[in-house]
Structure 1
Amino acid sequence: MTNWIRLPNSEGQCVARSDGQGDQKTYQREVGRAGFAGPSAQIYHRHPPAGWATFEGPLRPRAFSLGKLSPGPACPLQARRVLHNDHMEVRYWKTESKMHALARNADGDTLIFVHNGSGVLFCDYGHLPYCDGDYILLPRGTAWRIEPSELSEFMMIEATASAFKLPDASQGGPSAINPMLFTLPRIDDAFIAQQDDAFWEIHIKRRGQVSTLTYPFNPLDAIGWEGDLCVVKLNWRDLAKHRSDGQRTPPAASCTFVTDTFAISTFIPKVGEGESGIMRVPFYHSNEDADEFIFYHRGEFFSRGEIKAGMATFHPSGFPHGPHPSAYQTKMVKAPVETEEVAIMIDSRAFLTVDESIPDGAEWKAYVKTWEKAQETL
């Protein structure tokens, strides 16, 4: 455990008054270490911390419309890469075609998030239906394929040379994930029916390169298994069922999966948290030890008026970020406190690199300027 230097203190006016009442209108920014699990401070500013006039250089915030990416390829291991570093990669895959070969990732665990569509997944452990909003965790080395019943879109997150685990109480607080929420594959009639003696390929990714093994039978030929290692599925709606209306949920309580170098959080609808006209948490923040990538799945994203479902934002560490000023006033202070958004956030302690092969049409180049434009409305 890091022996942080902690000196609890306060100085000056320390009350956030975003409604303009009190001595002076202020904007609260939280500065935190270790993903806000370490020491933190709240700084009260006279101006919006994200109220820059210009922003130049490679550190800039970026936004992508991943839904605009073209479908394919046939092999999900070669799907379009969005972000990466030595410990993780994020790919986006769209398909409506049945996989005629199996996939196996030897580089690390794969966590699939189903953005759109439905169908079935077959893997070493059996048969598993999927629908939008599902997380499917494929342990490293698992062979799998899908048969979509409609166009399906997946965000695939690889824990390179690592594994996905559940947050402990110190990371997830009282809302840490209950393993009983997971669904497991079944060796049922549908799984047995897909077993045959045709020639099947398995595409295996190792160190970023794909090799092919060919079998004179379907390798998904299990008739049973036992143990405590398995593919598991979790839907964000199952998380929502275990949240009480009015329950306060600090950001750390949204943590869903963790690895040695990054964490994945699920932001789900919240009702009755706080009072209208009072900020519930300090949305302006500086997470100094993590790059932040957010994928927007469903609903109205109250801190980003122009962001729609299927888009993603990337905010590298090193500068404060938060809501656009217009959203801050109309949706986060004056509006009722209910939220409808569903979003997936990756906080990576290792710096992330955007894959520059993303087509220009899928990136919102003017995203960084939306804060500049919004200052005119203040």
Structure 2
Amino acid sequence: MTRHNFIPVRAAQGRHSRQAHADLPEGAYEREMSKEGFFGPATFFYHQRPPTGWTKFEGPLRPRAFDLKKLAAPSASPWGAGVVLHNAAVEIGFWTLAAPMPDLARNADGDLLLFVHQGAGELFCDHGRIAYATGDYLYLPRGEMWRLRPAARTSLLTIEATNAHFSLPDKGLLGGQALFDPAMLDVPEMDAAFRAHQDEAGEFTVEIKKRGQVSWATYGYNPLDAVGWHGDLAPVRINVSAFRPVASHRYHLPPSVHTTFVSDRFVVCTFTPRPFETDPGALKVPFFHNNDDYDEVLFYHAGDFFSRDHIEAGMLTFHPSGFTHGPHPKALKSMLHQPKPATDEYAVMVDARDPLEVGEAALGVEDAGYVDSWRGPA
């Protein structure tokens, strides 16, 4: 993240905890207000009531939820899929594919990340062939030609790094093998199935997206005809089952420790099952926080989403920067005591440094009552 020089403050008033996210004053609710997401200076307030206990919320900053399962109409091309959220640096969509792609795709706008919410099949690309399954991330570098051949109906969350690229985060003191060892990244192979795909006869069209517009290049042969490659740029696959999340039994860690991929103006994080904190004074749910520098997006893939109510797998929530948010009221009952030893959830988070716009596809599948799921007593 960008390094800033902030005004230095070291002070405290009233009843407060010495350690953030632990040993709260009795009956208090903690709220974090910070700079640059969770990477800058912060202050921690201790409130008498939950900071999201509004009786009414109006205006464009309201939290929003979208049921992406309802965007089920299949599209033969990724460029025909619905755009859910977007800004100049990132485009998030949801794509359902029911049959093999008739054409190839090539994204000249930026790197592309596909998260397989449901389905299985094969990816054919310039570099070869690789199988995919539910829970896979498929990374496609800018300019790669590719197509999917599903063996089962496939639904994917798509994340484009517009005019930029994806990289792995700096894992710092944790070491380069934390979260997942880069050796777990699989690359395509030029195997027998790939060679058989090369031999298919007929015309092949490549749909090339640039500046949001599609052009078509048609060949009298399969343009995925490379016979070899070498280098340090290639598509990769990794499944969420390979992730080994960082956990602390005495401290509720911020979402930033689950960062999986980084781009110029946003990050992608992955939540996978982890043990709950066991220290009696440590928070066992996400802390309330002001989201003033980043828009926060969460796609719920599978499991029991312990900090959310009325949210199911296949839904996506959008919390614009500028308002306080945190766990739903039902989760506060387990703020310091959890009935289970570990979480049971898989989710993909995108934190965007610049404000996101809601795409037309999302407007038709919005849960308008989501903002009221935090409603407190009048």
TM above 0.5, yes or no, is yes
What CA deviation, in whole Å up to 9, does each residue of 1:312-351 have, x standing for no partner? Answer: 1000010110111122214764433411011110000010
| Helix, strand or coil at the partner of 1:91 | strand
Q: Percent identity?
A: 45
| Helix, strand or coil at the partner of 2:324 | coil
Match of 2:312 among 283, 308, 313: 308
In 1, distance between residues paired with 2:66 and 2:4? Answer: 36
Q: Is the 8 A contact 1:37 1:171 kept in 2?
A: no
- Which residue matches 2:235? 231
Deviation at 1:250, TM superposition (A): 4.0
In 2, distance between residues paired with 1:232 and 1:61? Answer: 34
In 1, distance between residues paired with 2:55 and 2:27? Answer: 20
In 1, distance between residues paired with 2:308 and 2:188? Answer: 37
Q: Comparing 165-174 with 1-10, which one deviates more in the overlay? A: 165-174
- Which residue matches 1:194? 197
Cα distance change, pair 342–90 in 1 and its aligned pair in 2 (3 A)? same
Q: Comparing 140-149 with 283-292, which one deviates more in the overlay? A: 283-292
Deviation at 1:8, TM superposition (A): 2.4
| Helix, strand or coil at the partner of 1:121 | strand
In 1, distance between residues paired with 2:313 and 2:300? Answer: 5
What CA deviation, in whole Å up to 9, does each residue of 1:131-183 have, x standing for no partner? Answer: 11111110001000011111110000000000001111359877355321201
Match of 2:76 among 74, 77, 88: 74
- Which residue matches 1:95? 97
In 1, distance between residues paired with 2:24 and 2:299? Answer: 37
- Which residue matches 2:181? 178
Match of 2:348 among 339, 344, 351: 344
- Which residue matches 1:366? 369
In 2, distance between residues paired with 1:247 and 1:268? Answer: 19
Deviation at 1:70, TM superposition (A): 2.6
Cα distance change, pair 53–247 in 1 and its aligned pair in 2 (3 A)? closer
Cα distance change, pair 37–277 in 1 and its aligned pair in 2 (3 A)? closer
Cα distance change, pair 23–31 in 1 and its aligned pair in 2 (3 A)? closer
In 1, distance between residues paired with 2:367 and 2:90? Answer: 23
- Which residue matches 2:142? 140
Cα distance change, pair 52–138 in 1 and its aligned pair in 2 (3 A)? same
In 1, distance between residues paired with 2:182 and 2:17? Answer: 40
Deviation at 1:62, TM superposition (A): 0.4
What CA deviation, in whole Å up to 9, does each residue of 1:335-374 have, x standing for no partner? Answer: 33411011110000010001134353x21111011111xx
- Which residue matches 1:205? 209
- Which residue matches 1:27? 29
Matches within 5 A, 1:215-226: 215-226=219-230
Q: How many residues align?
A: 370
In 2, distance between residues paired with 1:371 and 1:280? Answer: 19
Cα distance change, pair 40–331 in 1 and its aligned pair in 2 (3 A)? closer
- Which residue matches 2:108? 106
In 2, distance between residues paired with 1:245 and 1:332? Answer: 15
Deviation at 1:71, TM superposition (A): 2.2
Q: Is the 8 A contact 2:285 2:331 kept in 1?
A: no
The two structures, once aligned, show a CA RMSD in angstroms of 2.4
Match of 1:214 among 193, 218, 221: 218
In 1, distance between residues paired with 2:226 and 2:304? Answer: 43
Match of 1:261 among 265, 271, 275: 265
Q: Which runs of 5+ in 2 are unaligned?
A: none
Which amino acid in the other structure matches residue 212 of structure 1? W
In 1, distance between residues paired with 2:115 and 2:6? Answer: 35
Cα distance change, pair 237–194 in 1 and its aligned pair in 2 (3 A)? same
Is 1:167 aligned to residue 166 of structure 2?
Answer: no
Match of 2:87 among 85, 88, 96: 85
